[in-house]
Amino acid sequence: MDPVRVGILGLGTVGGGTVSLLRRNAEPLKRRLGRALEVTRVAVKDPSKPRPVDLEGIEVGTDAESICTDPNIDIVIELVGGVDNAEPLVRKALEHGKPVVTANKALLAERGNELFRFAGEQGVDLAFEAAVAGGIPIIKALREGLAGNRIESVHAIANGTANYMLSRMRTEGMEFAGALQEAQDLGYAELDPTFDVDGIDAAHKLALVAAVAFGAPINYEALHIEGIRSITREDILYADELGYRIKLLAITKNGPGGIELRVHPTLVPQDTMLASVEGVFNAVQVVGDAVGPTLYYGPGAGADPTASAVVGDLVDVARTLGAPPEYRVPYLGFRADGMQEPRWAPVEEVETEYYLRMQAQDQPGVLAQVTRILSEEGISIEAIRQKEPRPGDTDVPVVLVTHTTKERAMRKAVAAIDGLDVINGPSQLIRLEEVDAV
Amino acid sequence: MDPVRVGILGLGTVGGGTVSLLRRNAEPLKRRLGRALEVTRVAVKDPSKPRPVDLEGIEVGTDAESICTDPNIDIVIELVGGVDNAEPLVRKALEHGKPVVTANKALLAERGNELFRFAGEQGVDLAFEAAVAGGIPIIKALREGLAGNRIESVHAIANGTANYMLSRMRTEGMEFAGALQEAQDLGYAELDPTFDVDGIDAAHKLALVAAVAFGAPINYEALHIEGIRSITREDILYADELGYRIKLLAITKNGPGGIELRVHPTLVPQDTMLASVEGVFNAVQVVGDAVGPTLYYGPGAGADPTASAVVGDLVDVARTLGAPPEYRVPYLGFRADGMQEPRWAPVEEVETEYYLRMQAQDQPGVLAQVTRILSEEGISIEAIRQKEPRPGDTDVPVVLVTHTTKERAMRKAVAAIDGLDVINGPSQLIRLEEVDAV
């Protein structure tokens, strides 16, 4: 049979990795598919730029749009990134009946609903495994492997840069700024690290994961997002003493107030699989009503791992090229007419445990005042520790962990505590998740 | 659209779980598929036996074969187990154009090649996610999610019972017999525990995993299998002191001598994800040339987790009912004409590290003799420890860990060591795998 002709938009890290991988593994890929996968065109910004990838036999140009409309291209891989750049190209390809494989989490988090609808109207695929957790086939697991389940919760370490920084803060005793500098020096973090350290990248991924987990429209707006800038070495140390690690988690969960969508630093018990994920690795813990807790672990970024996800999608899409849509897996696992808008839980209605670090004046009665406020809000305390003051400091750090309580009550209590004369606020509040017995 | 009519053969733990799950999650399943999945018939040995599952509206009978030939059944789920029982039923269903979903690892490990060939001739599906690692969608990950990769190795904790026993031997200081008794009391191990503790169950799963990982025919005969009966509390303790845990691993690997297929107790470094898998959980670590190391973790057995895998397959199979075969994923990920018989590495050609425990007489020169023998076989030593004799014992345990060496050389060396007057053989030899930096 004729080869499947692939056009790639963008030849950065992932694009280069994809071209290399398709060449290197052409033989086993053909054994899988019965047809060759052949990159025939790529679009780049600067064709004269030297690239560490063999482009022989590939037409290299600057006109991305012409690839999307080229009748000799069967499948388009979108790797240009960005939202406003990428959207018209993806639309153009879909409009011309070409399935699209993309790694663009921002695009789908923000415009995915419209794009999936349009792809459905055109009757072609729009695949995005590479947009979430790099090489870990987590979209496929949620969308197909666990299709028998009602998903109860997903807890993901979805940003390798933030995880690397938190690992280094713990093992090397670094503060945030030092860990960030190191991550930048190593090329893990961008010069503008906002997407990684402020939780935005993890949030984009979570928006997609939640849609696939719950058969709900993508709702990036409903997300509560906090990054790791406020986490101190001290918090990591105290968490450690209490038996926890601090991780930037992306969490979606069918909670008492509806579907929760939140990205924030989180204490997780040290003896869980999630806690043991160190460095730039990603991991996704999924609890289903039938399967119970499962976990998926691997490299969350990088040329080769992301190319692995792109090519996995490419094989799926190529296999069903021209097939009636009903034979294909729906984009988000649920059919368009089976998607349901859930109640999205406001963060105030989230129920979880909390770690609270206060700076207290070293005088009698402080703990009594703090515990009275918590008790008035119906919050019970699981553990409380008074720490040594830091050298030259008159304040005494007091750290406590609560039992499960509602965010609204907790916030009210912290505001009251920070209003006490004997507390030098603002206190540090970090959520704590038991993440099941995994 | 009309419901998909499902017939189930066997209503034990997994069959009951499957019926319950299909009822409980009928609504989201219909949102995924656009059709209801309806169990219309089940075959059991004894229809009068009370069962903890709602069978209303389901025709319960004893004639399994008549379900396989029933024109009103669209898909057959085979859960009768056994090889000689199950094979004719599966064939009958395929012969009548019905796709089959099965959890029967023994059947496929021993007769899979013929059954997949026959299913291919009949143009219908034969799905088996539930046969490996319970609820973990590992077959889908290997077959589809990681399709872009050449798989380099798979290391799996694939038998929860054996893993539970090894966990208990370590944490409770039990010997094998006590751990087995406990596992039997808890219902984890059968009265005849051979399949679990002698590695046979793990071997059945590995035979399937290797076929999917390498696009090779299933070859159960090529497997090297050792169970955990010979593992002592002492070995677990010494391994711990050296920084390792002992796990029953199912390993397939593209090694220097060809594709390795082996199930045996294995030392793995304590700080790896695999080492931290405790109790009845399963985990599968897969290294691909592009993705690098990934790991999949979850419950490896039980009614609900296994039903999760059965229903996941059922959704896939139902979606492509009647679709031309080229639109469906090949049974083992590679097309029938793309399967290749590899060189299977004889276990003598495996290269790995080893843990060796000897009982030495407490006299000078013993270590010199042992190390001379190892050196003559070109085996270098990474660590060596002489232990205190056990109370009342005159022998001194000597434990060593080697660098990577060929199994053939290691066996020759151990035979020579056990021939020494100063060694009370047979010595204990356990393989050690670094399982990459995961």
Side chain identity, residue A171:
T
Yes or no: say if A312 and B145 are a contact pair by the CB < 8 Å rule.
yes
At residue B437, the pLDDT reads 52
Task: Name the H helices within B96-145.
Answer: 105-122, 138-140
Give SS3 for A164. Answer: helix
* Nearest in space to A325 (alpha carbons), one of B325, B166, B327: B327
Contacts of B333 in chain A (CB under 8 A): 32
Nearest-Cα distance to chain A for B433, in Å, is 19
The answer to whether A293 faces chain B, any CB pair under 8 Å, is: yes
Instruction: List for chain B the helix, strand, coil content (%; round to 5).
Output: 40, 25, 35
The answer to whether A135 faces chain B, any CB pair under 8 Å, is: yes
* Residue B60 CA to its chain's centroid (Å): 32
* Residue A29 CA to its chain's centroid (Å): 29
Residues of B annotated as catalytic are: 205
For residue range A183-216, what is the model confidence (pLDDT) as tens digits?
A: 999 988 888 899 999 999 999 999 999 999 999 9
* Gap between the Cα atoms of B321 and B311, Å rounded: 15
B243: which DSSP letter? T
Question: Which residue of A32, A320, A335 is in closest CB contact with B34?
Answer: A335
Query: B315, A144: Cβ pair inside 8 Å?
Result: yes
- How many CB atoms lie under 10 A from the CB of residue A31? 18
* Gap between the Cα atoms of A294 and A213, Å rounded: 14
Nearest-Cα distance to chain B for A433, in Å, is 19
Query: A330, B150: Cβ pair inside 8 Å?
Result: no
Yes or no: say if B252 and B260 are a contact pair by the CB < 8 Å rule.
yes
* Gap between the Cα atoms of A9 and A100, Å rounded: 10
| Chain A residue with minimum CA distance to B286 | A298
For residue range A373-432, what is the model confidence (pLDDT) as tens digits?
A: 999 999 999 999 998 888 888 899 999 999 999 999 999 999 999 999 999 989 999 999
The answer to whether A1 faces chain B, any CB pair under 8 Å, is: no
Yes or no: say if B423 and B358 are a contact pair by the CB < 8 Å rule.
yes
Query: B335, A33: Cβ pair inside 8 Å?
Result: yes
Question: Which residue of B145, B292, B307 is in closest CB contact with A312?
Answer: B145
Yes or no: say if A93 and A68 are a contact pair by the CB < 8 Å rule.
yes
Structure tokens at A87: 């959207």
Question: Which residue of B21, B146, B338 is in closest CB contact with A148?
Answer: B21
* Nearest in space to A64 (alpha carbons), one of A54, A79, A49, A84: A79
Nearest-Cα distance to chain B for A124, in Å, is 14
Selected from 3.20.20.80, 3.40.190.10, 3.40.50.720, 3.40.50.1220, the CATH number assigned to the domain covering B4-134+303-334 reads 3.40.50.720
At residue A438, the pLDDT reads 45
Yes or no: say if A355 and A267 are a contact pair by the CB < 8 Å rule.
yes
At residue B189, the pLDDT reads 84
Q: Which CATH architecture has domain B138-299?
A: 2-Layer Sandwich (3.30)
* Gap between the Cα atoms of B238 and B245, Å rounded: 9
Determine the angle formed by the axes of helices A303-319 and A13-24, rounding to 10 degrees: 60
* Gap between the Cα atoms of A332 and A96, Å rounded: 22
Which residues 182-241 of chain B have a CB within 8 Å of chain A?
A: 215
Query: A31, B215: Cβ pair inside 8 Å?
Result: yes
Contacts of B301 in chain A (CB under 8 A): none
Element at B283 (helix H, strand E): strand B281-288
Where in chain B are all domains bearing CATH 3.30.360.10?
138-299
**Alpha-carbon distances, residue A232 vs A80, A92, A265, A390 (angstroms):** 36, 47, 11, 14
Question: How, if at all, do strands B395-402 and A351-361 pair?
Answer: unpaired
Instruction: List for chain A the helix, strand, coil content (%; round to 5).
Output: 40, 25, 35
CATH class of residue range A350-432: alpha beta
By CB atoms closer than 10 A (0-12, 13-18, 19+), residue A156 is buried
Which residues 113-132 of chain B have a CB within 8 Å of chain A?
A: 129
Q: How long is chain A?
A: 438
The answer to whether B171 faces chain A, any CB pair under 8 Å, is: no
Query: B144, A316: Cβ pair inside 8 Å?
Result: yes
Q: Which CATH architecture has domain A139-292?
A: 2-Layer Sandwich (3.30)
* Nearest in space to B114 (alpha carbons), one of B87, B96, B132: B87
* Nearest in space to B429 (alpha carbons), one of B304, B266, B245, B291: B266
At residue B268, the pLDDT reads 97
| Chain A residue with minimum CA distance to B276 | A273
**Alpha-carbon distances, residue B69 vs A43, B10, B317 (angstroms):** 55, 16, 18
* Residue A401 CA to its chain's centroid (Å): 26
| Chain A residue with minimum CA distance to B141 | A137
Residue A216: how many CA atoms within 13 Å on its side-chain side? 26
Residue B34: how many CA atoms within 13 Å on its side-chain side? 16
Give SS3 for B236. Answer: helix
At residue A437, the pLDDT reads 52
Where in chain A are all domains bearing CATH 3.30.70.260?
350-432
* Residue A202 CA to its chain's centroid (Å): 3
Contacts of B140 in chain A (CB under 8 A): 137, 140-141, 144-145
Burial A126-155 (b: 16+ CB within 10 A, else e): bbbbbbbbbbbbbbbbbbbbbbbbbbbbbb
At residue B438, the pLDDT reads 45
- How many CB atoms lie under 10 A from the CB of residue A192? 9
* Gap between the Cα atoms of A398 and A134, Å rounded: 39
Question: Which residue of B25, B137, B288 is in closest CB contact with A145?
Answer: B137
Q: How long is chain B?
A: 438
* Gap between the Cα atoms of B258 and B154, Å rounded: 14
pLDDT tens digit at each of 438 positions of chain B: 899 999 999 999 999 999 999 999 999 999 999 999 999 999 999 999 999 999 999 999 999 999 999 999 999 999 999 999 999 999 999 999 999 999 999 999 999 999 999 999 999 999 999 999 999 999 999 999 999 999 999 999 999 999 999 999 999 999 999 999 999 999 888 888 999 999 999 999 999 999 999 999 999 999 999 999 999 999 999 999 999 999 999 999 999 999 999 999 999 999 999 999 999 999 999 999 999 999 999 999 999 999 999 999 999 999 999 999 999 999 999 999 999 999 999 999 999 999 999 999 988 899 999 999 999 999 999 999 998 888 888 899 999 999 999 999 999 999 999 999 999 989 999 999 998 654
Query: B31, A145: Cβ pair inside 8 Å?
Result: no
* Gap between the Cα atoms of B2 and B267, Å rounded: 53
* Residue A228 CB partners (closer than 8 Å, separation 6+): A162, A165, A166, A176, A197, A199, A248, A265
The size of the A-B interface in CB pairs under 8 A is 221
Query: A148, B315: Cβ pair inside 8 Å?
Result: yes
At residue A436, the pLDDT reads 66
Where in chain A are all domains bearing CATH 3.30.360.10?
139-292
Give SS3 for B105. Answer: helix
Tell whether residue B10 is among the known ligand binding residues: yes
* Gap between the Cα atoms of B27 and A256, Å rounded: 20
Query: B319, A327: Cβ pair inside 8 Å?
Result: yes
Residues of A annotated as catalytic are: 205
Tell whether residue B60 is among the known ligand binding residues: no
Query: B294, A297: Cβ pair inside 8 Å?
Result: yes
Where in chain B are all domains bearing CATH 3.40.50.720?
4-134+303-334
| Chain B residue with minimum CA distance to A284 | B296
Burial B119-151 (b: 16+ CB within 10 A, else e): bbebebbbbbbbbbbbbbbbbbbbbbbbbbbbb
The answer to whether B327 faces chain A, any CB pair under 8 Å, is: yes
* Residue A416 CB partners (closer than 8 Å, separation 6+): A373, A377
Element at B18 (helix H, strand E): helix B13-24
Q: Mutate which of B32, B155, B435 to disrupt the A interface (most A C-beta within 10 Å)?
A: B32
Tell whether residue A13 is among the known ligand binding residues: yes
| DSSP states along B76-100 | EEE---SSTTHHHHHHHHHHTT--E
pLDDT tens digit at each of 438 positions of chain A: 899 999 999 999 999 999 999 999 999 999 999 999 999 999 999 999 999 999 999 999 999 999 999 999 999 999 999 999 999 999 999 999 999 999 999 999 999 999 999 999 999 999 999 999 999 999 999 999 999 999 999 999 999 999 999 999 999 999 999 999 999 999 888 888 999 999 999 999 999 999 999 999 999 999 999 999 999 999 999 999 999 999 999 999 999 999 999 999 999 999 999 999 999 999 999 999 999 999 999 999 999 999 999 999 999 999 999 999 999 999 999 999 999 999 999 999 999 999 999 999 988 899 999 999 999 999 999 999 998 888 888 899 999 999 999 999 999 999 999 999 999 989 999 999 998 654
The answer to whether B276 faces chain A, any CB pair under 8 Å, is: yes
Is the torsion defined by CA of A342, A343, A344, A350 positive or negative? negative
* Gap between the Cα atoms of B39 and B50, Å rounded: 18
Structure tokens at A5: 């002709």
B337: which DSSP letter? G
Query: B21, A150: Cβ pair inside 8 Å?
Result: no
Yes or no: say if A217 and A339 are a contact pair by the CB < 8 Å rule.
yes
